[in-house]
């Protein structure tokens, strides 16, 4: 008996190759956005000193991209108050993780737990050799073995596909752009109007308008980048997770339990929300829920999983 | 003059094509080898667990010497196959070992005191976990073998693959009826 060739064997190698390209695009886009943003801020607030800022902005953006690449996972883990599990702790979970990791041909990632009763999980790291899987106490308590397997298989698919690197970079870099734009936006109202309009000709006014437009648009652009890469990624991880466990009902059951749980996860925030298997911020207003939602609707994910059965 | 340029272009394109195909086959074959080492690790782990299990069960079931002898022999054969044999031969030896192990557990069923001790529980849990891992490692390996063999047999690679020394790899097939069917994934 050989494994029957499934119609879509989702090769982790293909997904990984696509994500390597995405990583490069993402970093280039980030550096560009920061440099343009810095130029706009310089032109607007510094009386045309935008060009002087550019090299500085370039170095800072490269450095922060490198920092988030190499240490972003530690930042996210610390912010989520995750604690690494010792070798003897949660043996069943460790066994599930080790077994499924073998099925994907990746090393078993480090395991972390968040002591919170809301069931949820995420994976992070820059590659499979430096990956961590985080589960909440609520997930361990509320899910049975097949459901846990479903969740872990989903997370390990993110690891194997190198999604974790893209997700991590998006999280940290989008957060940085949003922060800069936010500061500039505040500065514009509080005392940034020095010299505006009076000592500039028509060209200056146009640059000013462009600068304002950029300041407003850049967080939206950053958010759109995030959206573009994340919805399809969740469906893909659901599907490859189901192929790994060969039991789509396990993950479907887990998603149902996670959706039914109304408790928000205290340690999650807007920046880290997109890392989780299901949106941990339960109280988001309906409008933002759909505009900025990084996760496909959970009912749709369950429906797709059940259709695989 | 024109013809020589055309010829050079053709030769360059052909060379580029051969180089990429060659490198792709090397990558795919390397993945098969890596996947095989995953299986190898888990099989060795299973071999290491068996002597302890036999000793533990022996302490209670003193009259079942043939069962113990069978499993010890099967283990020795499997270890020997691990040193040199092809995947198919190894799978055969492992299947015999699995059968022998089943009869050890069948014997153990008759001794409630044995079932109650922690060491036996740990050993059988470890063995079950290892067998799970073997089956997942096997799936990953067979998937990689399939990708490699498909690349090898697809036109036009099949025309020159054997000239470069690439031959098809063997699947690792265990007698494992409990394997779940793969779900159908559509996008």
- Kindly tell me if the per-residue pLDDT of A194 is higher than 70: no
Q: Which residue of A lies nearest to B171 if distances are taken between CA atoms? A: A2
Q: Do A105 and B35 touch (CB under 8 A)?
A: yes
* Domain ranges within chain A, ordered by starting residue: 12-308
Residue-range domains of chain B with CATH = 2-160 (1.20.1440.20)
Return the closest-CA partner of residue B125 out of A91, A146, A88: A91
Strands A131-136 and A110-114: parallel
Q: Which of B31, B146, B185 sits opposite A243 (nearest CB)?
A: B185
Q: What is the pLDDT, as a whole number, of residue A119?
A: 94
- Kindly tell me if the per-residue pLDDT of A206 is higher than 80: no
Q: What is the pLDDT, as a whole number, of residue A201?
A: 47
Instruction: Name which of A114-123, A218-227, A271-280, B10-19 the model is least confident about.
Output: A218-227
Shortest Cα–Cα distance, A307 to chain B (Å): 8
Which of A7, A11, A102 should we substitute to test contact with B (largest number of B Cβ atoms within 10 Å)?
Answer: A102
Report residue A162 as tokens.
Answer: 């190198």
Q: What is the pLDDT, as a whole number, of residue A2?
A: 39
Q: Which of B129, B139, B184 sits opposite A3 (nearest CB)?
A: B139
Q: What mean pLDDT, rounded, does chain A reach?
A: 79
Question: To the nearest whole percent, how much of chain A has pLDDT over 90?
Answer: 27
Q: What are the Cα distances from residue A248, in Å, to A63, A239, B1, B170?
A: 42, 8, 64, 29
Q: Which residue of B lies nearest to A248 if distances are taken between CA atoms? A: B183
Which range scores top for mean pLDDT: A36-45, A133-142, B101-110?
A133-142
A234 in catalytic set: no
Question: To the nearest whole percent, how much of chain B has pLDDT over 90?
Answer: 43
Which of B45, B121, B143 should we substitute to test contact with A (largest number of A Cβ atoms within 10 Å)?
Answer: B143
- Kindly tell me if the per-residue pLDDT of A198 is higher than 70: no
Q: Do B140 and A102 touch (CB under 8 A)?
A: yes
Shortest Cα–Cα distance, A242 to chain B (Å): 7
Summarised one tens digit per residue, pLDDT across range A81-124 is 999 998 888 989 999 999 999 999 999 999 999 999 999 999 99
Q: Do A98 and B133 touch (CB under 8 A)?
A: yes
Q: Which of A104, A242, A309 sits opposite B140 (nearest CB)?
A: A104
Q: Which of A3, A100, A102 sits opposite B38 (nearest CB)?
A: A102
Q: What is the pLDDT, as a whole number, of residue A64?
A: 83
Instruction: Name which of A36-50, A125-139, A285-299 the model is least confident about.
Output: A285-299
Q: Do A4 and B182 touch (CB under 8 A)?
A: yes
Summarised one tens digit per residue, pLDDT across range B144-157 is 999 999 999 988 88
Q: Do A246 and B182 touch (CB under 8 A)?
A: yes
- Does the pTM exceed 0.90? no
- Kindly tell me if the per-residue pLDDT of A149 is higher than 80: yes
Q: What is the pLDDT, as a whole number, of residue A147?
A: 95
Q: How many of the other CB atoms lie within 10 Å of CB of B144?
A: 23
Q: Which of A90, A155, A234, A263 is catalytic?
A: A155
Mean pLDDT of A163-191: 73
Contact A99, B136 (CB under 8 A): yes
- Kindly tell me if the per-residue pLDDT of B36 is higher than 90: yes
**Chain A residues touching B185 at Cβ < 8 A:** 6-8, 10, 239, 242-243, 308
Q: How many of the other CB atoms lie within 10 Å of CB of A276?
A: 23
Return the closest-CA partner of residue B145 out of B175, B166, B162, B160: B166
pLDDT band of residue A210 (cuts 50, 70, 90) is: low
Mean pLDDT of A286-305: 70
List, in order, residues 6 or more apart from A32 with CB less than 8 Å away.
Answer: none
Report residue B66 as tokens.
Answer: 């043939």
Q: Do A308 and B184 touch (CB under 8 A)?
A: yes
- Nearest-angstrom CA–CA distance, B71 and B42: 18
Q: Do B182 and A105 touch (CB under 8 A)?
A: no
Question: To the nearest whole percent, how much of chain B has pLDDT over 70?
Answer: 93
- Kindly tell me if the per-residue pLDDT of A221 is higher than 70: no
Q: Which of A7, A13, A99 sits opposite B136 (nearest CB)?
A: A99
Summarised one tens digit per residue, pLDDT across range A45-90 is 766 676 778 888 888 888 888 888 888 889 889 988 999 998 888 9
- Kindly tell me if the per-residue pLDDT of A211 is higher than 70: no
Instruction: Name which of A148-162, B104-118, B129-143 the model is least confident about.
Output: B104-118
Write the burial class of residue A189 (CB in 10 Å: 0-12 exposed, 13-18 middle, 19+ buried).
exposed
- Kindly tell me if the per-residue pLDDT of B124 is higher than 80: yes
């Amino acid at each position: 008996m050989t494994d029957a060739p499934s119609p879509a064997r989702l090769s982790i190698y293909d997904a990984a190759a696509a994500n390597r390209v995405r990583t490069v695009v993402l970093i280039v886009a980030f550096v560009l956005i920061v440099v343009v943003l810095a130029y706009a801020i310089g032109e607007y607030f510094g009386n045309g000193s935008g060009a002087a800022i550019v090299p500085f902005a370039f170095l800072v953006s490269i450095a922060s991209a490198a920092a988030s690449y190499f240490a972003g996972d530690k930042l996210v883990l610390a912010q989520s108050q995750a604690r690494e599990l010792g070798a003897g702790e949660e043996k069943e979970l460790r066994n599930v993780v080790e077994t499924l990791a073998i099925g994907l041909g990746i090393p078993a990632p480090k395991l972390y737990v968040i002591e919170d009763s809301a069931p949820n999980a995420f994976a992070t790291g820059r590659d499979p050799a430096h990956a961590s899987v985080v589960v909440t106490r609520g997930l361990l308590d509320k899910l049975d073995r097949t459901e846990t397997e479903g969740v872990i298989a989903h997370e390990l698919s993110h690891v194997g596909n190198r999604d974790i690197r893209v997700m991590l970079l998006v999280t940290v870099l989008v957060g940085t752009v949003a922060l800069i734009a936010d500061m500039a936006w505040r500065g514009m109202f509080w005392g940034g109007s020095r010299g505006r309009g009076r000592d500039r000709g028509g060209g200056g006014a146009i640059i000013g308008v462009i600068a304002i437009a950029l300041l407003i648009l850049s967080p939206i652009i950053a958010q759109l980048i995030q959206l573009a890469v994340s919805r399809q990624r969740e469906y893909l991880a659901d599907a490859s997770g189901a192929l790994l466990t060969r039991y789509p009902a396990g993950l479907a059951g887990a998603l149902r339990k996670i959706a039914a749980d109304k408790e928000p996860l205290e340690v999650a925030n807007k920046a880290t929300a997109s890392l989780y298997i299901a949106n941990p911020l339960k109280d988001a207003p309906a409008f933002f829920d759909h505009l900025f939602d990084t996760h496909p609707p959970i009912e749709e994910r369950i429906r797709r999983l059940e259709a695989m059965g | 003059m024109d013809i020589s340029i055309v010829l050079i272009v053709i030769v360059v394109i052909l060379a580029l094509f051969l180089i990429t195909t060659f490198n792709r086959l090397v990558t795919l074959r390397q993945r098969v080898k890596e996947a095989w080492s995953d299986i190898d690790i888990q099989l060795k782990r299973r071999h290491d667990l068996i002597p302890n299990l036999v000793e533990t069960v022996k302490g209670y079931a003193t009259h079942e010497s043939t069962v113990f002898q069978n499993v010890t022999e099967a283990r020795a054969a499997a270890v020997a196959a691990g040193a040199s044999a092809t995947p198919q031969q190894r799978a055969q030896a492992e299947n015999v070992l699995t059968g022998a192990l089943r009869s050890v557990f069948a014997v153990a069923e008759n001794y409630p005191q044995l079932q109650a001790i922690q060491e036996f529980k740990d050993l059988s849990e470890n063995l079950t976990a290892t067998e799970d891992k073997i089956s997942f490692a096997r799936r990953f390996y067979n998937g990689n073998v399939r990708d490699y063999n498909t690349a090898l047999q697809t036109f036009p690679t099949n025309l020159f693959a054997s000239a470069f020394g690439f031959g098809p790899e063997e699947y690792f097939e265990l007698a494992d009826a409990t394997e779940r069917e793969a779900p159908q994934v559509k996008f």
